[in-house]
Structure 1
Amino acid sequence: MTLVEISSDAFIAAFFLYCASFFMYTIAVMGRRFRKRDPEAHLAKWGKIAFITGVLGLVGHLIYFFTRWAGAGHVPVSNMYEFMSFMALAIMIAFLILYFIYKKSLLGLFALPLTILIMAYAAVFPQEVQPLIPSLQSYWLGIHVTLAALGDAFFAVGFIAGLMHLLRTVDFSQSGKSSRREQRWLELCMFLIVVLIGFIVSVYSFRAGGYEAVFNQPQVDPETETSTIVRVEYSMPPLVAPYNSETESMTSFLGMKSPLFEAPSWMEGVNAGRKFNTVLWSVLSGAILYGLFRLILRKPIALFIQPALKRLNPDDLDEISYRAIAIGFPVFTLGGLIFAMIWAEIAWGRFWGWDPKEVWALITWLFYSVYLHFRLSRGWQGKYSSWLSVIGFIVVMFTLVGVNLIIAGLHSYAGTD
C-alpha cells in the first residue's frame, strides 16, 4: 500500500470519526433535555466522549496530511481537494486551541458539522496527486496557503461562536419589526448552510448514479483566431447548457431530455456553463432539502436549535468569537496577503494583478479590519459583533468556493472540476 493510499484511508477514517463525534455531541445535548435525573452529568459524560472521538478524528486527519505530503513530495494544498481538506483540519486545530482556552466543549456541536461539510465538499474534487505547475513549484506554496487556511479556520470558529450567540439570543417570541427582521436573517443563514448540504448531496447522488451529459462548444483562440471544438462533460443534469454549444449525448432525467436553457454569452470560458449549472443545482437541491426540514420540524430551523444552547453564556460566546477572529486576523494577513504578494512577485513578476481570488482575499481582509475597528473603538459587542462574524465568514466561503464556481482567474488551476 502506497503512502497516498494510506492517506486516503486516513481521510475516510477521520471523516467517520468526526461524524461519530458530532452524533455523540447531539446525544449529549438532546439527551439532557429528556433526562429527569442529573442531566448535567449526562451532558458532561457524553460531551467528554464526543470530544475524545473528535480528537481521534484529528489524529487521523493529521495522518492523512503528512502521509499525503510524503507521498506527493510537496505540501498537499495545491488543488481544491487538498486545500479544503487542510481547511477542515485547520478548523479542528483552531477549535482545540479555543477549547483549551475557554473549556467550552459544546463549540464542537457546531465546529464538527462545519468540518464534516468542508471535508465532504473537498471529496467532490479530483483526489489524484497532481504534478505541480511551474508557478506552484515553490516553498512559498506551503507558507502562503497553510497560513491563509489557518487564518480562515480561526474566522470559521469565530463564525461558529457568533452564530451560536445569535441562536442563543435572538428572541423568537417577539413579533416586532426589528425582531422579525433578526429572525428572518438568522433563518437565512440556516438556509445557506442547507444549500451547501444540498450541493454535496446532489453531487454525490448523481455521481453514484453515473449521470453524464456531453456538449461540444466552439472556442476561438484570441491570439491565432483559430476555432476548435471543446468537449464539455457534465456530471449533473444540465439545467443550463454551455453557450453556443451542441448536445453530443445526454442521459434523460425525470423526462428532461435536453437542457432547459443556454448560458448567456457573457459567461465566458469552457467551464462557465457547467459552473452556472452547479450553482443552480445547489440552490434548487438546497431549497428542496430546506423545505423538507421545515415540513418535518414544523418550525424554523434556528428556533429548533435554540433550546439546545439555553445554558450557554452569551457573553462567553461573544468573547470566543472575538478572540478567534483576533487570532486569525494577523495569521491571515501574513498568509493571505503579505506572503501571497511575495509569491506572486516570484511566480508572475508582479505583487498584485487584480486576479479575482486576490481581490476577494483583500475584501476579506478589509472586512475583518472593519470588524476589529468597530469592536475595539466603537464598542460593538453582542449581536452587532456576532452578525459581523457571520457575514465575514460568508465572504470567506465565497472567496474559497464561489470564486472558483463563478469566476475564472489565475487561481483556477486549483482543481475546479
Structure 2
Amino acid sequence: MSLLDFSSDAFLVAFFLYCFGFLFYAVAVAGRNWSNRKPEDHLRRWGRIAFIVSVLGFAAHLTFFITRWIGGGHIPTSNMYEFMMFLAMAIMFAFVVVYAIYRKPLLGMFTLPLTVIIVAYASVFPQEVQPLIPALNSYWLRIHVTTAALGEAFFAVGFAAGLMYLLRTVDFKKTDAQSRRDQRWVEFTLYVIVIIVAFIGTVFAFRGVDYKASFIQEIVSIDSKGIESTTTETVEYSMPPIFKPYNSQNIEVQSFLGMKEPLFETPSWMHGVNAARKLNTIVWSILTGSILYGILRLALRRRLGAAINPLMDGIDEEDLDEISYRAIAIGYPIFTLGALIFAMIWAYIAWSRFWGWDPKEVWALITWLYYTAYLHLRLSRGWHGKKSAWLAVIGFVVVMFTLIGVNLVLVGLHSYAGV
C-alpha cells in the first residue's frame, strides 16, 4: 500500500471518528435529563468518551496530513481540497485547546458538526495530488497558509460558541418584536447551514449516479483596438442544468425527472465560462436545502432553533460568551501573522510586490479589519452577550466567503486554489 492510499484510509477513519464523536456529545448533552445517573455525572462520563473519540479522530486526521505530505512531496495545502482538509484539522486543534481550558462538552456538539461539514465540503473537490505551480513552490507557503488557517480555526470555535449563546439566550416562546427578530435571524443562520449540508449531499448524489451534461459556449470578446473575436469553450456540468451557459448549444444533457433540456439561459451579464455552472450549483443548493429544511421542520413540528433551544438548559450563557471571545482573541494575532504579514512576504517573493489589491488580499484585509472592530467593540465599548455573539457569527461568514467565495466566484491570483 502506498503512502497516499494509507493517507486516504486515515482520512476515512478521521471522518467516521468525528461523526461518532458528535453522536457521543449529543448523547452527553441531550441524554443528561433522561439518564438514571445525576445529570452532571452523565454529562461528565459521556463528555469524556466523546472527547477521547474526537482526539482519536484528530490523530487520524493528522496522520492523513503527514502521510499525504510525505507521499505527495509537498505540504498538502495547495488546492481547495487540501486547504479545507487542513482547516478542518486546525479547527479540531483549536477545539482541543479551548476544551482543555473550559471543559464544556456542549462545545463539541457544535464544533464537531462544523468540522464534519468542512471535511465533506472538501471532498467535493478533486482529491488527486497536484504538482505545485511556481507561485506556490515556496517555504513561505507553509508558514502563511498554516498560520492563517489556524487563526481562522479559532474564529470557527468562536462562531460555534457564539451560535450556542444565541440558541441559549433567544426565547422562542416570546412574541414581542425584538424576540421575533432574534428568532428569525437565528433560524436564518440554521437555514444557511442546512443549505450547505444539502449542497454537499446533492453533489455526492449526482456524482454517485455519474450525471453529466455538456455545452459549447460561444464567447465574443473585443480587444483594446475594438477588434471583435469569437472563441468557443466546452462547459461540463455534474448537476442537471437548470441554467445553461449564455449563447451556448447542447452537446449532451442526460434526462433527470423528465427534464431533457435546460429550463433557462444564464443572463448575458454573468461573464466567465464557469458563471453558468456556478449559478446552476447555487440554485440547486437553495432548492435542495429548502426541501431538506422543510422536511426537518415537518419532522420536528417547530423551527430548528426552537427544537435546539431546550438542549441548552443548564448551560451558563456567560461561559459561552467568554469562550467565544477567548477563541477569537487567541485566533486574532495568529491570523494577523499568517494572513497579512507572512502573506505579504510570500507575495513579494512570488510576485515581487507586497500588496496588489488581488481579491483574496482585499478580503483577507476585510476579515482582519472586521475582527479588529470586534475586539475594539468588545473591550472598549463593552459589547458583550448577544451583540458579541452576533459579531462572532457574522465574522465567520466573512471568513468563509474569503476562503470559498473569493476562490470560486471572483477571479484573481489565488484562483488556482479553486481548481
Please report the TM-score for the alignment, with normalisation by the length of structure 1: 0.97
Is residue 301 of structure 2 the alignment partner of residue 294 of structure 1?
no
Equivalence for 1:48? 48
The answer as to 2:400 corresponding to 1:397 is: yes
Of the three residues 346, 364, 369, the one matched with 1:343 is: 346
Give the superposition deviation at 1:40.
2.6
Aligned to 1:275: 278
* Distance (Å, rounded) in 2 between the aligned partners of 1:169 and 1:115: 24
Q: Which residue of 1 aligns with 2:365?
A: 362
1:34, distance to aligned residue in structure 2 (A): 2.0
AA aligned to 1:194 is V
Distance in 2 between the 1:226 and 1:13 partners?
52
- Rounded Cα–Cα distance in structure 1 between residues aligned with 2:298 and 2:405: 29
Q: Which amino acid letter does the alignment assign opposite residue 342 of structure 1?
A: I
Q: Which moved more, 1:98-107 or 1:216-225?
A: 216-225
- Would you say the 8 A contact 1:276–1:405 is kept in 2? no
Q: Distance in 2 between matches of 1:191 and 1:340?
A: 34
| CA 154–284 in structure 1, closer or farther in 2 if over 3 Å, else same | same
- Corresponding residue for 1:310? 313
Q: SS of the residue aligned with 2:414? A: helix
Displacement after TM superposition at 1:168 (Å) = 0.6
CA contact (8 A) 1:151 1:328 kept: yes
Q: Is the 8 A contact 1:276 1:406 kept in 2?
A: no
Match for residue 256 of structure 1 among 248, 259, 271: 259
Instruction: Quote the offset at 1:353 in angstroms.
Output: 2.0
Check conservation: 2:107, 2:160, Cα contact below 8 A.
Answer: yes
Q: Identify which range, 397-406 or 167-176, moves more after superposition.
A: 397-406
* Counterpart residue type for residue 391 of structure 2: L
CA–CA distance in structure 2, aligned partners of residues 352 and 242 of structure 1: 34
State the distance in 2 between where 1:272 and 1:348 align: 27
1:352 paired to 2:361: no
| Count of residue correspondences | 416
Partner residue, 2:67 = 67
Contact map agreement 1:126 1:415 (CA 8 A) in 2? no
The 2-side partners of 1:357 and 1:266 are apart by: 23
1:171 corresponding residue in structure 2: 171
The alpha-carbon distance between structure 1 residues 311 and 22, as it changes in their structure 2 partners (threshold 3 A), is: same
Report the secondary structure of 1:249's partner residue: strand
Answer whether contact 1:318 1:381 (CA < 8 A) is retained: yes
Deviation at 1:222, TM superposition (A): 6.6
* Corresponding residue number in structure 1 for 2:82: 82
Alignment pair present for 1:375 and 2:387: no
Contact 2:29 2:105 in 1 (8 A): no
More divergent stretch after superposition (48-57 vs 258-267): 258-267
Alignment correspondent of 1:230: 233
Equivalents in 2 of 1:15, 1:200: separation in Å? 15
The offset of 1:360, in angstroms, is 1.4
| Alignment deviations for residues 35-70 of structure 1 (CA, whole Å, 9 cap, x no partner) | 354233222211111110000000000000000111
Structure 1 residue 196 corresponds to structure 2 residue 196: yes
Match in the other structure for 1:119? 119
Q: Is the 8 A contact 1:216 1:248 kept in 2?
A: yes
Give 1:39's aligned amino acid.
Answer: P
CA drift at 1:408: 2.1
1:242 paired residue among 238, 245, 249: 245
Residue 154 of structure 1 pairs with residue 154 of structure 2:
yes
**1:406 counterpart (390, 406, 409):** 409
What secondary structure sits across from 1:214 in the alignment? strand
Equivalent residue, structure 2, for 1:4: 4
| 1:77–1:145 Cα contact (<8 Å) kept | yes
Question: What RMSD over aligned residues (CA atoms) do the two structures have, in Å?
Answer: 1.5
Residue number in structure 2 paired with 1:323:
326
Separation in 2, partners of 1:395, 1:228: 36
Residue 214 of structure 1, CA deviation: 0.4
Q: Does the 8 A contact of 1:21 with 1:51 survive in 2?
A: yes
- The sequence identity of aligned pairs, in percent, is 64
What amino acid sits opposite 1:45 in the alignment?
A: R
Q: Distance in 2 between matches of 1:415 and 1:161?
A: 29
Structure 1 distance, partners of 2:115, 2:168, is 22
CA contact (8 A) 1:279 1:405 kept: no
